[in-house]
Amino acid sequence: MTTKVIKIDPGNMRSEDFVEAASILRSGGLVAFPTETVYGLGGNALDPDASRKIYAAKGRPSDNPLIVHIADVSALEELARDIPDEAYRLAEAFWPGPLTIILKKKPIVPDSTTGGLATVAIRFPSHPVANRLILESGLYIAAPSANASGRPSTTKAEHVIEDLDGKIDMVIDSGSSQIGLESTIVDLSEGTPTILRPGFVTIEMLRRIVPGIVYDRAVTERKKDDTIVAKAPGMKYRHYAPKGDLMIFEGDPDRVAEAINEAVKRANEAGKRAGVLATAQNLDRYDCAVIECVGSKTDEEEISSHLFDTLRRFDELGVDLIFSESFDCGGLGQAIMNRLLKAAGYRVLEV
């Protein structure tokens, strides 16, 4: 199959722009599209064959459920049952936006979309192109991140082409995703409201609406205890990984720089190509041929929007080993460290 790439300017969209993409989706095909978090690989969420095609294109295990994207809060009642009041309060506060809510599913949602689970993940994205695509197609759109399974999520159409060219019908190119990390996932399907995946909507923001919300233990304690199994099936896989082996260095910036420079030297002696993932403030401290800046230490939004792109750049540069600084875990830092730890397979060196 040839993958068609079309450009849509979010600031200047017309209905005509969406005719072909909407028709592909309605006939069971796949269209990758921009969202405010990352690019999504979309198919008709209520068509089991479309979900199966999504798993095949990504090479994703079919027990890993998809998020259903909607463009109106009223869709909640069509897709989910026993909806608690918290769901409406969170929707009111954060939708449209980078928050996914898990609820008990209604039979209309096929098992292939939810990986056989009795629950469904629902998100109302704020990106104008995503919103318009859902409305113009008249569908609910199931969309995982538009990367090959296990690779860093895609924040640009070019990344989608890198991973999925020839495997999907179309990519809509609307430039870079602003947030750069996937949505926060909150489970409201049973018991205590729980954050399964940290994202741009932080625990502090969520607690203002749902004071009792907690993190799934897999988010906060997995680093120390590798017997904990994540409740979001997708969070248990090695993930977000560049081709080069990533290792995180934690500690005082001087000592981190010293340890990284030593690691670079050893890698080079072993005939390996090393790269350093650094913040702007520390660039001068490193002695390495490849140093990629992920943003300013004091600007978490900048780091979040560049993280996956930076990991992919190391691949383009043919780096075998990546040595990374670590980041603070407050606010958005929790989501940044969560993705970085997964990409590193939890390899952290405390120096």
Would you say 338 and 219 are in contact if contact means Cβ atoms under 8 Å apart?
A: yes
Window of 89-97, 113-121, 142-150, 282-290 that interacts with Mg ion by CB under 5 A = 142-150
Residues 19-38 that bind ligand TXA (CB under 6 A): 35, 37-38
Q: What's phi and psi for 41, nearest 5 deg?
A: -105, 100
Angle between helices 157-164 and 300-316 (to 10 degrees): 40
By CB under 6 A, name the one of 50, 66, 70, 288 that touches ligand TXA. Answer: 66
In the bound state with ligand TXA, the residue whose beta carbon lies nearer, of 123 and 312, is: 123
In the bound state with ligand TXA, the residue whose beta carbon lies nearer, of 182 and 300, is: 182
What's the rounded Cα separation, in Å, for the pair 326 and 126?
30
| Residue 218 binds which of ligand TXA, Mg ion, none (CB < 5-8 A, kind-dependent) | none
Verify binding: residue 233, ligand TXA, rule CB under 6 A.
Answer: yes
Verify binding: residue 100, Mg ion, rule CB under 5 A.
Answer: no
Give burial (CB, 10 Å; 0-12/13-18/19+) of 233: middle
| Residue 288 binds which of Mg ion, ligand TXA, none (CB < 5-8 A, kind-dependent) | none
Site size toward Mg ion (CB under 5 A) is 1
Site mask for ligand TXA (CB under 6 A), range 178-197, x = bound: ----xx-x----------x-
- Contacts (Cβ under 8 Å, ≥6 apart) of 87: 76, 80, 101, 103, 188
Verify binding: residue 65, ligand TXA, rule CB under 6 A.
Answer: yes
Window of 21-29, 140-148, 214-222, 256-264 that interacts with Mg ion by CB under 5 A = 140-148
324: helix, strand or coil: strand
Verify binding: residue 324, ligand TXA, rule CB under 6 A.
Answer: no
Q: What's phi and psi for 31, nearest 5 deg?
A: -130, 120
By CB under 6 A, name the one of 134, 232, 263, 303 that touches ligand TXA. Answer: 232
Residues 312-331 that bind Mg ion (CB under 5 A): none
What's the rounded Cα separation, in Å, for the pair 24 and 7?
16
Residues 228-267 that bind Mg ion (CB under 5 A): none
70 beta partners: none
75: helix, strand or coil: helix
Give burial (CB, 10 Å; 0-12/13-18/19+) of 104: middle
Please, what sign has the CA dihedral across residues 292, 297, 302, 304? positive
Residues 102-161 that bind ligand TXA (CB under 6 A): 102, 114, 117, 119-121, 123, 125, 143-145
Site mask for ligand TXA (CB under 6 A), range 33-62, x = bound: --x-xx-x----------------------
* Cβ at position 162, least distance to ligand TXA in Å: 16
Verify binding: residue 341, ligand TXA, rule CB under 6 A.
Answer: no
Q: What's phi and psi for 67, nearest 5 deg?
A: -90, 135
By CB under 5 A, name the one of 100, 145, 174, 279 that touches Mg ion. Answer: 145
What's the rounded Cα separation, in Å, for the pair 164 and 183?
21
Site residues for ligand TXA per CB under 6 A:
35, 37-38, 40, 64-67, 100, 102, 114, 117, 119-121, 123, 125, 143-145, 182-183, 185, 196, 232-235
